[in-house]
């Protein structure tokens, strides 16, 4: 006996990836509905590589009664409109948007980090998926925090254009092509040219000069991992199609060596340590595409602070940063609460 599952936003990058991962992981599904806006109604979409296809339904007209789990990838405006409706009908919403992440009645879950927090989902019948850059970082931080207690994190991100959706990927492709043939590379989606450039600006600016993306990393890390951890972030968009990278500097309360950290990370759930002190002995975004793991490289001690480490963290932002984490939440929900497929 399986679940009746909805994927909303199924025609977008993350929605398609959700369908791929549900198929890859053989999530126990009895019925599947794929939803999108009226623009995509009637389109045919593949269910991974299973050979099955589904016709896209209009989310406006969909009745969620009798469905078990809905994976949402429809943005905050869509979630605001439809998540309460689905939740009230008894369909648990796993939402990829930022809308509910900091709601105290909505669990914000990374299954390798805080699985027990999912028990609070019944208050709203909604579970939040974290920001893509936060998700991979806390997977790396959790086992180290358990071992030596983290005081402070300084992170600089190198975030791919797929984090801005299909429009971001199209813009990088079109600008790159235009530059090669001598045409103008005018920015549309981004604030400046992204091809052959980096942009230290993701999401809107806040009063203190930080951006909302940076704020998300701070508050989400505190909610998921530990409210006492101090976090400062600089979020940068780079001309990479898929895969977010992060340079993370960590200050601990207790002593921890680079070798101890490597030993811990080597055994940590969701982590793949690739750290050789040689040419190519580290992971780059292009190598993480399509993978489930959060890859850690360049683990080393920071002599400028007491009990400090630096490391390099790479993950597929469409997978662990979004779709994979959502499916893992669904699996966790099934194991701990719904138990239909037990």
Residue-wise pLDDT for 106-165, tens only, equals 999 999 999 999 999 999 999 999 999 999 999 999 999 999 999 999 999 999 999 999
Alpha helices in 193-342 (DSSP H): 212-224, 258-267, 285-288, 324-333
Half-sphere exposure of 48 (CA within 13 A, CB side): 16
Mean pLDDT of the chain: 97
pLDDT for the residue 131: 97
39 Cβ contact partners less than 8 Å away, ≥ 6 residues apart: none
pLDDT for the residue 342: 53
C-alpha distances in Å from residue 245, one per residue of 17, 53, 144, 296, 321: 19, 34, 19, 10, 11
Domain boundaries, the chain: 3-129+322-337, 133-160+198-315
List the binding residues: 11-14, 39-40, 101, 159, 162-163, 237, 317
pTM confidence score? 0.96
C-alpha distances in Å from residue 202, one per residue of 133, 206, 208, 235: 11, 11, 15, 6
Residue-wise pLDDT for 30-78, tens only, equals 999 999 999 999 999 999 999 999 999 999 999 999 999 999 999 999 9
Q: Is it the case that residue 327 has pLDDT exceeding 60?
A: yes
DSSP 200: S
pLDDT for the residue 341: 65
The CATH number of 3-129+322-337 is which of 2.40.128.20, 1.10.1530.10, 3.40.50.2300, 3.40.50.720? Answer: 3.40.50.720
4 Cβ contact partners less than 8 Å away, ≥ 6 residues apart: 29, 30, 31, 32, 33, 66, 67, 68, 69
Q: Looking at the domain that runs over 133-160+198-315, which CATH code has it been given?
A: 3.30.360.10
221 Cβ contact partners less than 8 Å away, ≥ 6 residues apart: 134, 137, 138, 141, 153, 229, 231
Q: Please identify which of the residues 132, 235, 288, 313 carries the catalytic annotation.
A: 132
List the binding residues for phosphate: 101
Average pLDDT over residues 19-31: 97
pLDDT for the residue 298: 98
List the binding residues for substrate: 159, 237
Q: Is it the case that residue 245 has pLDDT exceeding 70?
A: yes
For tokens 């929605």, what's the residue? 15
Q: How far apart are CA 235 and CA 240, in angstroms?
A: 14
Q: Is 149 helix (H, G, I), strand (E, B) or coil?
A: coil
pLDDT for the residue 1: 80
- At residue 260, what are phi and psi to the nearest 5 degrees? -60, -45
Half-sphere exposure of 97 (CA within 13 A, CB side): 19
Q: Is 21 helix (H, G, I), strand (E, B) or coil?
A: helix
Q: What is the largest CA-CA distance in the chain?
A: 60
Half-sphere exposure of 176 (CA within 13 A, CB side): 14
For tokens 């589904």, what's the residue? 54
Q: Would residue 337 show up in a list of annotated catalytic residues for this protein?
A: no
pLDDT for the residue 77: 97
Residue-wise pLDDT for 221-239, tens only, equals 999 999 999 999 999 999 9
Q: What tokens were used for 208? A: 């203190």
List the binding residues for NADP(+): 11-14, 39-40, 162-163, 317
Q: Please identify which of the residues 91, 145, 235, 244 carries the catalytic annotation.
A: 244
């Amino acid at each position: 006996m399986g679940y009746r599952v909805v994927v909303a936003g199924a025609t977008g990058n993350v929605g398609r990836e959700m369908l791929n991962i549900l198929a890859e992981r053989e999530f126990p599904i009895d019925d599947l509905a794929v939803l999108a806006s009226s623009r995509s109604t009637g389109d045919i979409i593949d269910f991974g590589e299973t050979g099955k296809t589904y016709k896209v339904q209009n989310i406006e007209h969909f009745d969620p009664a009798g469905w078990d789990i809905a994976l949402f990838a429809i943005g905050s405006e869509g979630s605001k409109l439809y998540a309460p409706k689905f939740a009230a009908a008894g369909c648990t919403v796993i939402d990829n948007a930022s809308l509910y992440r900091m709601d105290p009645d909505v669990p914000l879950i990374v299954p390798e980090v805080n699985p027990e927090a999912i028990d609070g989902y019944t208050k709203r019948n909604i579970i939040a998926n974290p920001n893509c850059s936060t998700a991979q970082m806390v997977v790396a931080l959790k086992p180290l925090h358990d071992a030596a207690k983290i005081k402070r994190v300084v992170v600089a991100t190198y975030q791919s254009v797929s984090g801005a959706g299909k429009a971001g990927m199209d813009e990088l492709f079109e600008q790159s092509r235009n530059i090669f043939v001598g045409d103008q590379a005018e920015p549309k989606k981004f604030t400046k040219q992204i091809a052959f450039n980096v942009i230290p600006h993701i999401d809107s600016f806040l009063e203190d000069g930080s951006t909302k993306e940076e704020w998300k990393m701070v508050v989400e890390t505190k909610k998921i991992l530990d409210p006492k951890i101090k976090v400062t972030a600089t979020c940068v968009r780079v001309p990479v199609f898929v895969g977010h990278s992060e340079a993370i500097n960590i200050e601990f309360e207790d002593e921890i060596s680079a070798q101890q950290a490597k030993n811990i990370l080597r055994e940590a759930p969701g982590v793949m340590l690739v750290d050789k002190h040689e040419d190519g002995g580290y992971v780059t975004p292009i190598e993480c595409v399509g993978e489930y793991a959060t890859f850690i490289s360049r683990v080393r001690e920071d002599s400028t602070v007491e009990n400090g480490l630096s490391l390099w963290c790479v993950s597929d932002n469409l997978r662990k940063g979004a779709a994979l984490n959502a499916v893992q939440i669904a699996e966790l929900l099934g194991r701990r609460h719904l138990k239909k497929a037990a």
